[in-house]
Amino acid sequence: MHELLTGIIEKTELAVTSARDLVEPATLAGLADIADRARARLDYPDEVLVIALAGGTGSGKSSLFNVLIGDDVSPVGALRPTTSEPLAAVPKQWAAPLAGHLDRLGIDRRVVTDVFGHCLIDLPDTDSVVVDHRHRVEEVIPHVDVVIWVVDPEKYRDSALHHRYLAPLAGYGEQFIVVLNQVDRLEAEEVAEVVADLRAALTEDGIGSPHVAWLAAAPPSGPPVGVDELRGLIAGLTKSTLFGKLMVDMGSAARDLITGLGPPVDYRSRLDAVVEEAARYLAADDTGGASATLTGLFETIAAETGGMAGKQLMDFSVTMPAQLAEIARSLPMPAVPTWWQRLTGANPLPPDRLTPAMRALEDLLAPVTRLMTDRARALALATELSLTVL
């Protein structure tokens, strides 16, 4: 999988480089950021997932965190919110490879575990009264492999959770596990009803086939319930969804780049069709005719192209009449005066003016040809990237 991701990163960086002067910087920044995140993913092995526990106040995230890693290290208490800063549990054998990734995420609170084989992050509450806590959640989520959303029987349909997080992030549904915690507070027949309603809520969010588990991480008496089933669900995700979030993000950013570049435009053949006509106008000392011919074409292509490339074409079109006048002045004097050619029809297009006019036009239009060639290449690279990560 690392080899596959390396190839995709290379395609991404090529697309970014090729479009650097053709789209707005903000469009490229998103794709470049995803490439950086993908390179960070290469720092640790395929078999290790970085998993975030997210959920609202009182859902029991920290209790579940402690159960999964086999140690009471995340504080659990009556005061809310209990978790103010993310806490990461790191598998002992992978502590060094994961250190750099956690440094980039700014997660300084870490413990080492011998029980859980993945990196598990306990996040602050998604509905915390402290705004910075919610922002911290939103900073970390894009940089993890899997998110386990922890809900409880009372607030599993909480609008803040569904409208702020689950619905907008539904495209990552394959990388989500939704855990109904505290099922010990329900009667046996109620569990199935709540789970079914939770699945319905997730479907409404746009998550087509949600991964749902139910458990009691810290029942008042007896051992935890359903945790082994959750471990099995995580193990299944390890094989099927590795790099899934990155692929979704890259696909979305590639499509944004394609939109920013604009649709394919047939520039070369349309230009070839009018360059000779414009050269004939110049050879006949009709600068206005040459200007009208080329300006009309460039304005049409600029409108079809749009974006930064279209603006550059329009800017070029504005300066074109003056440049054509300069070309006309540089052409050799005709053997027969132009007024006499028009009156008599004699030798209307002398080679001693037509050939230099053609060459001068090709030189004049060379930067525009490079612009449109670069745009076509960037569009091809962005399309290839989009198809690769489907």
Which residue type, as a one-letter code, is found at position 103? D
Ordered per-residue pLDDT tens for the chain, 390 residues: 667 778 888 999 999 999 998 998 888 988 888 888 788 777 777 778 899 999 988 899 999 999 999 876 655 544 444 567 899 999 998 898 899 889 989 999 999 988 898 999 999 988 876 777 788 888 898 888 899 999 999 999 998 899 999 999 998 888 899 999 999 999 989 999 999 999 999 999 999 889 999 999 999 888 999 999 999 988 887 655 667 777 888 888 899 999 999 999 998 889 988 998 999 888 888 899 999 999 999 999 999 999 899 999 999 999 999 999 999 888 886 655 555 555 555 555 555 788 899 999 999 999 999 999 999 999 999 999 999 887
CB burial readout 122-147, b (16+ within 10 A) else e: bbbbbbbeeeebbebbeebbebbbbb
The reported pLDDT for the residue numbered 229 is 93
pLDDT of residue 335: 54
**The Cα angle at residue 384 between residues 380 and 386, in degrees rounded to 5:** 115
* Location of structure tokens 């009709």: 286
Residues in the chain: 390
Alpha helices by DSSP H, 224-334: 227-240, 244-261, 268-283, 287-305, 307-330
How far is Cα 254 from Cα 108, in angstroms, rounded to an integer?
A: 33
* pTM of the complete model: 0.73
Query: In angstroms, rounded to a whole number, what is the distance separating the alpha carbons of residues 28 and 16?
Result: 6
Residue 77's pLDDT is 46
Task: Please give the Cα distance from 194 to 190 (Å, whole number).
Answer: 6
What pLDDT sits at residue 174? 85
